[in-house]
Structure 1
């Protein structure tokens, strides 16, 4: 086991962690990918993350089912796990559920990135009067990716308050990972309709559709074909867990291949209800080839964020 990882895992976790690290390593060796770029991971202030975990534990209305947290560990251990898996770059996806939270979350995320060089500096936004100001501050401060959660925030991405922020992000070329699909439970403003209107107004916005737009996969693939800056992340898609309630249409696999340069690895770590390696193996069993897997798991993200080939 990686020595750094061994310093933070307890004796009871040692064999489990060793098996998981070995499983990810074997995947990377089979595919021929030196490292992973994961665009959808969650690091948050401790009290916020614990509230998120409590919500998952209660099978709240936005999850709609039991959702065990696989990596309910301390921050240092979670970081060590990602590094042991070979993840060279990841994110701290934070998101507000009410006004007045986003600026504070952005401050925390900036500090986290400062002390965590392999984390892509992450920021978020919410429709409120000062959103344009703090989005500009975040971009000028080096934010490399934003998170927008339409389901949890319960807002329309076309809210006029957000217009200047979307325009700024489109002009700056900063990607936005948006949970806009209606899975696992529909929200008032989820689905392809609001996103289609947003992209019509801001066609150069580098939108990354989280979870491949689950369950409206086909509609979000349509948007990716229509708008050249739209990308999709794989978070939870194709896994046994998600296939049980939102199966990906087999007929659409060819479109995944055609859009292979705009599919990005995402996992939802640490909040996934299965081992990290299962997401990778779920992508592998699609049968789209090692070149596609290398692009999705590393090359596309490395290119988007200018990370080089290492």
Structure 2
């Protein structure tokens, strides 16, 4: 730590309070030769700003000759090491006096009673020299986005592209579907990269959110999957074939569930071979029924007919 450099930095104007904090951090870690090599992350943590801001401020300090950077790279290991920063505070470009607020002068001071001449001159309106002077300080642009790092907010300008917006929306959809699985299954599992990639892959395959939800619902609630321990999100959506199979089975379950439980025959006719015989728009007559059994008896043995049916010599069915 160089107390001399730290004290010198406090007297330097760099036009930005965060930039000043970065410069103080470098001076605090510098040796007597003004050299230090902290990482971007270390500087960001000490100054309570984001890493990108540290890089931006150090670049400004380098351009304005407050320091120069010795960039270290190991070609054999193909690895970058922390830069060495050499502070050159005496060579730094300090903002000109025109950019700083004007200091009060004797001209700017209000006239005192002792300075006022006798008569009505003291009551005269102030002259142009007595008017307030404008302050020529830079104006900060409106905030477009706030980035929070280590609990401290810093404003930066950023405009999202259509691609970035689409990526954010896709991420929200993936997280929504994973949360839906947790709700359906009641499981406590982590949102691992593999599981989230399964969901993203099925969205890329063209499956809708509703279809993926339906497949997950089937696997999470089906008795067989639960009893066999196959009620996992991987079983539901790990491949295109897997999710298609689950959707088909889920549709079959819906059809089965749509039929009323304990359904009864809709006809009381003992000769009806199905539930709708006798209630159609053109029910069979007795002669048509007898003819059907006569034709059947001609091609089958009597033993093949139901025991309740016998035919007399005229071919009429006796019950």
Common fold: TM-score over 0.5: no
TM-score (norm 1): 0.18
Highest RCO, 1 vs 2 (Cα 8 Å, sep ≥ 6): 1
